[in-house]
Amino acid sequence: MKRGYADTPEGQIHYTEDGKGEPLLLLHQTGSSRSLFRLLPLLSKSYRVFAIDNLGEGNSDPLPPNAEIRDMARSYIHFMDAMGLAKAHVFGMHTGNKVGTELGAGWPARIDGLILCGQTHSIQANHKDQVSVMGARDRPMLREFEPSPDGSHLVKEWATQFNYLSAMWWGTDVHASETLTPELLQRRKDRVVDALQMRGTKEKYRAIFAFDLAGRMRDIGVKDTLVIEIRVPEESHLSPQGPKLVAIIPRSRLVTIEHKGGGRAVEAKSGEIADVILSYLKER
């Protein structure tokens, strides 16, 4: 396993690479590529895998001003150019499934296998529902306060960010009902570091909210797309979205994974997700 930086027009993009064979790009959810480190060694037995920090996250350079999802996707095309990759398979989780969708729609000739993964809230088939569902979860940390001459608006903003980090650290968010272990402590540390490293968080989420996921999915031009919907108990009030998406995406199929434990699905269910990815890519 090795780490490095790719020089692109948008800036330096940090990555971790492992394995040999056909290239497979892993696009992470909000945070950094560290969330994919359980998945990476399972896939690198068969593929040349790149876990990549999105611009503005992890150790990559900041996100360009006013960036949209298409700009983020283009940065991955430039990453491929810098690494000498004519084509690659792509796996995208949460934010990564938006970027992966844009890659499949905007640059289908560069994408081989395409896997779009997310919990139900992340793959809403209706854009208004997407904004509503994700907004209820993510807008609090994006709240902006009216500037005050005495700077008290900054104290409110800092308090908001502190509460966000505190919930992450102590595990009071809906994803964190996990058994306490030294490994869990390290993962919590990593999540807090990821949050502190993020630059352009508000700009990134504005881009996510503005992106019509299902609408763009209709334009995906790759030969075969796999949708992985992860169902969790706290989202049982949300109807399954996978069947709706495969009805939209040309030449697509669906796998549903039940995640009833705590923690990030891409970590807690890494073995099952890896098996699904490997099976799909082998069939292709």
Kindly report the CATH number assigned to the domain that includes residue 70.
3.40.50.1820
Say if 44 falls within a structural domain.
Answer: yes
Say if 64 falls within a structural domain.
Answer: yes
Say if 167 falls within a structural domain.
Answer: no
The answer to whether the beta carbons of residues 178 and 18 sit under 8 Å apart is: no
Mean pLDDT of 91-100: 98
Task: Report the distance separating Cα 224 and Cα 164, nearest Å.
Answer: 38
> Where residue 156 falls among pLDDT bands split at 50, 70, 90?
very high
Say if 51 falls within a structural domain.
Answer: yes
pLDDT at 129: 92
Residue tagged 């896939």 (tokens): 43
Residue tagged 């060694």 (tokens): 41
Say if 166 falls within a structural domain.
Answer: no
Say if 14 falls within a structural domain.
Answer: yes
Residue 182 clears pLDDT 80, i.e. is over it: yes
Task: Report the distance separating Cα 129 and Cα 118, nearest Å.
Answer: 15
pLDDT at 139: 63
Say if 164 falls within a structural domain.
Answer: no
The answer to whether the beta carbons of residues 41 and 68 sit under 8 Å apart is: no
> Where residue 179 falls among pLDDT bands split at 50, 70, 90?
confident
Total number of domains in the chain: 1
pLDDT at 102: 98
Mean pLDDT of 88-105: 98
Say if 66 falls within a structural domain.
Answer: yes
Task: Report the distance separating Cα 67 and Cα 85, nearest Å.
Answer: 24
Please indicate, yes or no, whether the overall pTM of this predicted structure exceeds 0.85: yes
- Which residue range(s) make up the domain with 240? 2-140+201-283
pLDDT at 262: 83
Helices (H), 35-125: 40-43, 69-83, 95-106
